Amino acid sequence: MLFKRFCFASALALSVSIPALVAAQDRPTLNFAVDNLWPTMDPVIGISTTGGRVHSNIFETLVQRNYFEDPDGNELIPGLATSWERTSDTVWTLTIREGVTFHNGDPMTAADVAFSLSADRLWGDAPMAPRGASFASGLVRVGAIDDYTVELETEFPDATFIARLTTPIGFVLPKDYYESVGTEEFGQNPIGTGPYRVVDFDPSTRLTAEAFDGYWGSDPMFSSISWNVISEYSTRYAGLVSGEFDLIVSIPTDQLSVVENTDGVNLLVSQVGNYPMFAFNTLDIDGMEDNPIMDADLRKAMVMAVDMDTLARALWDDATYAPTPFNFPEYGDYHDPDRQATYGYDPERAAEYLARSGYDGETLRWHIVRGFFPNYETAAEFMVEEWADLGINVEIRILDNFALAYERPFHLLNMSMSSEFTGDPYRPLWLDWGPGSNRVIASHRTWEPTEGFLDAGQRFARAQEFDERYAAYMDLLAEWEDVMPAMYLWRNVQTFAMRDGLEFDPGSTQVTVFDERYVTLTE
């Protein structure tokens, strides 16, 4: 039992005299059972769903997205930066919060911010955390002006660059400590400014973090939080029912009703900004000269042949739906619930496009990584049947890992796309499909952006006003749909189960933060 039962009367009496002490003693612990932990806790090297469940409790970003008042997180609020302004067309000046200390006692200053965003760490040649490069793209200079002022200069005027500081590159890490121990050691013994400090980390068993007494913000809610790796769902469930865990994640779809009907346990099913999809291999490289899927009419026929929305709702018991391309709720003003897909479900039109294409009954291979996403393989089987009805032969190949899935020949390749980034289509449409993206440069690349797409992307990245950006976004979308290099399946669903007395709701983000904004204790 985590929440120690204590005498309310005496706690109340004591709280009048020495509130801080009592708070520290009576704070409950939070035991969270997760399915996995990322091997390193460096928040950029370890960008991942499993890492995101920990990072924001240990580290803090310069700017935050307000998920607690707006579930889609479309408003930016101060984090470790108290304010920001554009001091010239290409320069953002940040004021850094004073009185913040790292878990090792070092004060946080502009030097730490500059280090965290530096070329050495993120965007130079051979950086320490190369996965940060795409998040930091456009950055050309980072400088600490004084102890609490930092300047960020971008290659061209970028009106929305500040939103990038809500992503993992916005986490501020301690320069001296990081440089003295190196990336690997930092990933095992991470230090941040967050409300909890890591006291024990073994990637295959557990991460334990204790309340950090020197935290600048309000007192941490829990005396400690542990993320326990319990890979087997039934064991997570058993731990929740028996009181070992307060919160568990990832409940299989067929077990949702069981959890719902369990006494003392509550279920949370919510949509998140992440989309399972598949890419069409539109290229003829690596011995695929006769690749039939290079024909855009065939791709459009396949997309129009599937009633994705009905399928998604049936598989997920109405917990989610199939969005029209790049029209996601977490895009704020860019989102239009009434917009129709240019190539939506339409069997007759699909048959027309198929007849027009040069497809001649060749077998198309769909590479799927085993257990990649809940319901993905089931959905694939349905889709293959719908395509077969139309006369398109698709063969599913279930493979053990991405390395095998990336080996050609394949015509369809499973993937997922996160749209959780800056609250606009910048990442999912431009970064994920643009000229520097894996879709274009990796060994498993699947398309070559059109001239029109590249042009619209440049306009989108450089636009200063919303209207201009919106127009460029619509052009990007039209170019993308005209090529149809992929099909998005549904908005992903995340599930939590928690004990009575604990109410937790992260909104549409897969990042879990355990503070009073997202957690309520009712016991």
Partner 1 sequence: MTRIILFKTLRAIITLLVAVTLVFLFIRLSGDPAVALAPPDAPPAVIEEYRQRLGLDQPLWTQYLSYIGGMFQGNFGYSIHTGRSAPSLFMDRLPATLLLGLTALGISVVLGVTLGTIAALRHNSAIDRMVMSFSVFAFAMPNFFFGLLVVLTGALVFGVYFGGSGATRSLGQLLAPAATLGLATMGSFARFTRSSLLETLNKPFMTALAARGVPFRRRLLRHAVPNAAIPVVTMLGLSLGGIVAGAVVTEQVFSWPGVGQLLIRSVETRDIAVLQFIVLMIALVMTVTNLLVDLLYLALDPRMRGGRNG
Please report, as a single letter, which amino acid is at residue 105: G
382 binds partner 1 (CB under 8 A): no
**In the complex, least distance from residue 54 CB atom to partner 1, rounded to whole angstroms:** 15
Give phi and psi for 103, each to the nearest 5.
-60, -20
- Give the residue, chosen from 3, 32, 43, 47, that forms a contact with partner 1 under the rule CB under 8 A: 47
39 binds partner 1 (CB under 8 A): yes
Please report, as a single letter, which amino acid is at residue 353: Y
Residue (101 or 416) nearer to partner 1, CB:
416
> What distance in Å separates the CA atoms of residue 205 and residue 361, rounded to the nearest whole number?
50
> What distance in Å separates the CA atoms of residue 376 and residue 183, rounded to the nearest whole number?
35
206 binds partner 1 (CB under 8 A): yes
The 405-424 contact track toward partner 1, x by CB under 8 A, reads: -xx-------xx--------
| Strands 247-249 and 412-418, sheet pairing | unpaired
Give phi and psi for 254, each to the nearest 5.
-75, -5
2 binds partner 1 (CB under 8 A): yes
- Give the residue, chosen from 184, 260, 286, 503, that forms a contact with partner 1 under the rule CB under 8 A: 184
Site stretch for partner 1 (CB under 8 A), options 124-132, 312-320, 322-330, 496-504: 124-132
Do the beta carbons of residue 493 and residue 267 sit within 8 Å? no
* Maximal CA-CA distance, the chain: 83
500 binds partner 1 (CB under 8 A): no
**In the complex, least distance from residue 135 CB atom to partner 1, rounded to whole angstroms:** 11
131 binds partner 1 (CB under 8 A): yes
SS3 call for 65: strand
**In the complex, least distance from residue 242 CB atom to partner 1, rounded to whole angstroms:** 4
Site stretch for partner 1 (CB under 8 A), options 123-131, 191-199, 286-294, 472-480: 123-131
> What distance in Å separates the CA atoms of residue 117 and residue 169, rounded to the nearest whole number?
7
Give the DSSP letter of residue 293: G
Number of residues assigned to the chain: 523
Residue (109 or 208) nearer to partner 1, CB:
208
SS3 call for 140: strand
446 binds partner 1 (CB under 8 A): no
**In the complex, least distance from residue 378 CB atom to partner 1, rounded to whole angstroms:** 20
> Per the structure block, which two tokens stand in for 488?
């998005």
Residue from 222, 183, 202, 219 nearest 29 by CA: 222
CA distances 49 to 22, 212, 249, 381, 511, Å, are 35, 24, 12, 26, 7
> Which of the residues 217 through 246 are near partner 1 (CB under 8 A)?
226, 228-232, 234-235, 237-239, 241-245
Residues within the interface to partner 1 (CB under 8 A): 2, 29, 31, 39-40, 47-48, 126, 130-131, 133-134, 184-185, 187-188, 202-206, 226, 228-232, 234-235, 237-239, 241-245, 399-404, 406-407, 415-416, 438, 441-443
